[in-house]
Structure 1
Amino acid sequence: MKVGFIGLGTMGFPMTKNLLKAGFQVFVFSRSRGPIEKAVELGAIEAKTAKELAEQVDVVLTALPMPDDIKKVYFGGEGILAGAKPGTILIDHSTVGPHLNLQIYENAKEQGVHFLDAPISGGPMGAEAGTLTIMVGGDKEIFDQARPVFEAIGKTILYMGKTGNGSIAKLINNMLVGIHTAALSEAFVLGAKAGIGIEALYEVIKSSTGWSYMIDRCYPLIKSRDFEQRFMIDLLYKDMGLATDMADQILVPVRLAKVAKDMIGDAKEAGYGHEDVAATIKPLEKKAHVEVK
């Protein structure tokens, strides 16, 4: 099985490395030269366009930051659908809305091409270790055909049902990421301002019912003031917007999600958009005239 990978970012590059380790012949295309050159050194083959890549492989994987990037790489004149042959399997690991998934699925189906939405969770560390959670929507028989590819990059591989269901699951997960990040930011700023030791407060929360995974993830970064980009605020804000828009479309009130989105938006507007989501705490610290450290 020849595999193509488009988008060698913080997630895509380590995923490509794991595909190579698993023995797949891998073709790559990306906007940045650095990751392309590193992938070629590891044995990948460079394609000059997304179309050229799709012409040469059995499976195309994409991992791109924004919905507009996906539209361009799938539908452009030099895009994937311009080069994909009947029987090719297209898999998108990006976080987008289910309507875009369905649009790609229907266009691909007209050409005899298959499509799976397969967003991922686990961050760069999970991508490097090959332990990602992959939530997949689409036709079950195509999911089964693509499973060896998923097993090269992920540990928990879940079939979610029809096209778009993978993205729905990912947006709900990231909606909770946003809510938990906003809540932990308020909690630690309140504790610091009230004069309680934040290390002691963390130990209480960690061993009590207020704990969440995001507290364990973000607290050490906040404490050490390490806001280097891992999962950046701009992307979480995008995901929160997609999640709340989806909720509005099907008439589900998500008040907590909208408040959290506004808080994350405050951090974005304050200039922290390219920092890690742990930096959501910074505007709160400024308003409270306290720093959690």
Structure 2
Amino acid sequence: MSEHAAPRNGGPAAPGAREHAAKSVTAVRAGFVGLGQMGEPMARRLLGRDGGLVVCDVRPEAVRPFAEAGARTGADPAAVAAAADVILVMVRDDAQVREVVAAMLPAAARGTVIAIHSTIADGTAEELAARAGPYGVEIADAPVSGGFMGAHEGNLAVMLGASEAAAERCRAVFGAWAGLIVRVGPPGAGTRAKLARNLLQFVAFAAAFEAQRLAEAAGVHLRDLARVVRHSDAVTGGPGAIMIRDTTAPAPEGDPLRDILLHTRALAEKDLSLALDLAADLDVDVPLARISRARFARDLGVPHP
């Protein structure tokens, strides 16, 4: 395994110095900072890979099992940065991400990629990318979706905001725990995609609560309803099934999807109207259903004339 020959602190490379970009993909050295509920199962899937693994966490009890399994340990993020080519960061929030990255930049060799998996503000990712530039370090804005279940199963989705070169280096490491890696643009774009994805998730949760209130008032057993929802969503794809267009603009005449959208509009407006009638009869407040009924045609891309 080659030593880092590039100087620290973003200075000019010494004659004959080799940067990380010259390293074989299979020999990329991985680092992981933050071994919590998500980070621990992600990092565990990196054990035993070519290039090795170095880990760090403020809790010694989180680091100990990795050391016993053969991983190197770093006393702090700077130690990880000095020993890794691609460093994965899964800490709590923007403040912790800034603190960790600030500690790593002076210790990282030119060509290092720092991949941030924490959900942060998109402006933070852009800020850190600009701060890392003079060091010759790249920031990959790489939030994940799939929860701790996906982390344990090695089937997370990654929304990757990074340069093409940094994205390629990340794929060599992310593939150990990701089932889908989508480069969505430069740093900041990954977080913007994650926020949109989470908006869908939690608004859908709110809609599920509203549907449960209506079902409960109507005398439907909630566990029976839940079984039907999970089964049919597994077949149809759930809310994601409607995400089939490249734009949210109205679908013009001649659009090959227009007939499908018109059919969907008719079904939705009929069923939402029936649900609203039932809610009125049972005196159940369903604000999301009212909003959906009012906006569905426009949002679907086939507004009424």
TM-score computed with the length of structure 2 as normaliser: 0.65
Letter in structure 1 aligned against 2:52: Q
Partner of residue 49, structure 1: 76
Q: Quick one: which of 42, 50, 70 aligns to 2:97?
A: 70
Q: Any conservation in 2 of the 1:180–1:212 contact (CA below 8 Å)?
A: no
Displacement of 1:205 after TM fit? 4.1
Partner of residue 121, structure 2: 97
Deviation sequence 1:163-215 (CA, Å, 0-9, x none) = 21111111100111110111111221332234222233335545668x8759x
Q: Any conservation in 2 of the 1:95–1:119 contact (CA below 8 Å)?
A: yes
Displacement of 1:30 after TM fit? 0.8
- Mapped partners of 1:120, 1:2: distance in 2: 21
Partner of residue 149, structure 1: 173
Partner of residue 150, structure 2: 126
Deviation sequence 1:261-284 (CA, Å, 0-9, x none) = xxxxxxxxxxxxxxxxxxxxxxxx
Q: Any conservation in 2 of the 1:29–1:49 contact (CA below 8 Å)?
A: yes
Q: Which has the higher helix share?
A: 1
- Mapped partners of 2:129, 2:141: distance in 1: 9
Q: Aligned in 2, Cα 1:186/1:84: closer, same or farther, shift over 3 Å? A: same
The SS at the match of 1:38 is helix
Q: Quick one: which of 164, 188, 191 aligns to 1:167?
A: 191
Deviation sequence 1:26-54 (CA, Å, 0-9, x none) = 11111222221111111111111111111
Q: Aligned in 2, Cα 1:64/1:187: closer, same or farther, shift over 3 Å? A: same
Letter in structure 1 aligned against 2:89: T
Q: Any conservation in 1 of the 2:106–2:135 contact (CA below 8 Å)?
A: no
- Mapped partners of 2:84, 2:228: distance in 1: 52
Query: Percent same amino acid among aligned pairs?
Result: 31
Structure 1 unaligned blocks of 5 or more:
215-287, 289-293
CA RMSD of aligned residues (A): 2.4
Q: Aligned in 2, Cα 1:213/1:13: closer, same or farther, shift over 3 Å? A: farther
Q: Any conservation in 1 of the 2:33–2:77 contact (CA below 8 Å)?
A: yes
- 1:112 and 2:136 aligned: yes
- Mapped partners of 1:26, 1:2: distance in 2: 6
Letter in structure 2 aligned against 1:132: L
- Mapped partners of 2:237, 2:219: distance in 1: 23
Q: Aligned in 2, Cα 1:208/1:82: closer, same or farther, shift over 3 Å? A: same
The SS at the match of 1:116 is strand
Deviation sequence 1:219-273 (CA, Å, 0-9, x none) = xxxxxxxxxxxxxxxxxxxxxxxxxxxxxxxxxxxxxxxxxxxxxxxxxxxxxxx
Structure of higher CA gyration radius: 2
Partner of residue 11, structure 1: 38
The SS at the match of 1:19 is coil
Partner of residue 47, structure 2: 20
Q: Quick one: which of 25, 36, 56 aligns to 2:63?
A: 36
- Mapped partners of 2:147, 2:199: distance in 1: 16
Structure 2 unaligned blocks of 5 or more:
1-27, 240-284, 286-305
Q: Any conservation in 2 of the 1:17–1:42 contact (CA below 8 Å)?
A: no
Number of paired residues? 213
Q: Aligned in 2, Cα 1:207/1:85: closer, same or farther, shift over 3 Å? A: closer
- Mapped partners of 2:131, 2:166: distance in 1: 16
- Mapped partners of 1:141, 1:87: distance in 2: 10
Displacement of 1:82 after TM fit? 2.7
The SS at the match of 1:166 is helix
- Mapped partners of 2:173, 2:232: distance in 1: 39
Displacement of 1:118 after TM fit? 0.8
- Mapped partners of 1:32, 1:190: distance in 2: 45
